[in-house]
Amino acid sequence: MLQIPLSRSFCVFRARPLMAHSSMSSCSRSQEKARLRGVVFDMDGTLTVPVIDFAAMYKSVLGEEEYKAMRARSPSGIDILQHIETWSSEKQQKAYEIIADFERQGLDRLQIMPGAIELCGFLNSKKIRRGLITRNVKEAVDLFHLRFGMEFTPAISREFRPYKPDPAPLLHICSTWDVQPNEVIMIGDSLKDDVTCGRRAGAFTCLLDEKGSLKPRKRRLGISWQSPTKSCGTKF
C-alpha cells in the first residue's frame, strides 16, 4: 500500500466494459484478470498545483456578458477550446492569444503537486508506465518535463486532435503501449474532461477532487473516499 501524502480527496471510478473498437483477441484478453499496466495523468491541477485562473481567462476570451450566459447554459463548466472552434479565424486567433497569455503566466508559477514525485517513484519501482494528456500546449509540457525531471511518455498536448474529453488521446496511448484501456487508469482533476475521457475509453478513472466538492456515492462508483484532512492510501 502506497501512502500518498496528499491532503486531498480522490474518487476512483471502475472501468466500463470495452468499447466496440476492441478486436476479438483483445476481448478474450480483457476477460482475463486485468492488471494495472499504465497510469495516465492530466497535468494542470493534477501533476501541478492549479495556478491558472480559468474564470478570468474565460471572461477575457468571451467578455463578461457572454461568459455569464455560457455559465448559465453550462453550469458544469465551459469548454472554451471547443467553443472558439466555431468562431472566425481572426476572432479565434485573438482568443488563442489570450489563452496562451494566461498559460504563459501559469508557467512562471508552475509548482509540482505534493506527492507527485513520490507516486512516480512508486510507479517506476513497479514498472508501471506513465503517460500524460493535457489540453495545454506542448511548450508547457516540455517545460514541465524540464523543470521537474520526470518523463511521461507519451505526453499528449493540445496539438493532438481531438482532445479530452474525447477518448482518442487515451486510446492512442493504450495503442502505443499495446495495452487494453481497462489496464489503465486516468487520473485528473476534471470530471468533465479527465474522467469523461477515461470512461469513454473504457479505462479506470480517478478524480482528484481538490475542493472536496463531490459527495461520495459508494455503491454506484466504487469510490475510495478520504477526508480532506487525512492522507490517502492508494493500493496497486
Active site residues per annotation: 42, 44
Phi, psi at 40, each rounded to 5°: -115, 125
Q: Nearest distance from residue 45's CB to Mg ion, in Å?
A: 4
Instruction: Tell me whether residue 44 or residue 183 sits nearer to Mg ion (CB atom).
Output: 44
Burial of 118 (0-12, 13-18, 19+ CB in 10 A): middle
DSSP 8-state secondary structure symbol assigned to residue 41: E
- Count of CB atoms situated within 10 Å of the CB of 91: 12
Asked if residue 5 has a cis previous peptide bond (ω within 30° of 0), the answer is no
Q: Nearest distance from residue 206's CB to Mg ion, in Å?
A: 13
Residues ≥6 apart with Cβ < 8 Å to 216: 11, 223, 225
Phi, psi at 174, each rounded to 5°: -60, -40
Q: Nearest distance from residue 42's CB to Mg ion, in Å?
A: 4
Residues making contact with Mg ion (CB under 5 A): 42, 44-45, 189
